[in-house]
Amino acid sequence: MSASANRTSPPSVIELKRQIAQRHIGFPASLEQAMRLLLSRPEIVAFGTLQSVATACGVSGTTVIRLAAKAGYRSFKEMKAAFRQHLIFCARTT
């Protein structure tokens, strides 16, 4: 079951990190490696296209879509918006 099945709104990046840390979300090896990269460099997804994110992560576009779904987002576009909001929040707090 994906995280999206239990929520009505997409998780923020901070909420996503919390869920991962508490092991509420687990990723297969290829997805975990991609998610680690995206969490360490959120600008990749916030300002990238599906294809550029896939290339940066060394996976296919389909894998990025699966990653977004596993993380609790309804689409890549929704994940991208959450990462953009995260960067905006971080910029305002520094």
Domains of the chain from N-terminus onward: 10-93 (1.10.10.10)
Residue 48 pLDDT grade (very low, low, confident, very high; cuts 50, 70, 90): very high
Threshold 0.85, pTM exceeds: yes
Sorted by sequence, the CB contacts under 8 Å of residue 35 that are 6+ apart come out as 20, 27, 67, 71
Of residues 71 and 94, the one with the higher pLDDT is 71
Residue-level pLDDT at 6: 53
Residue 93 pLDDT grade (very low, low, confident, very high; cuts 50, 70, 90): confident
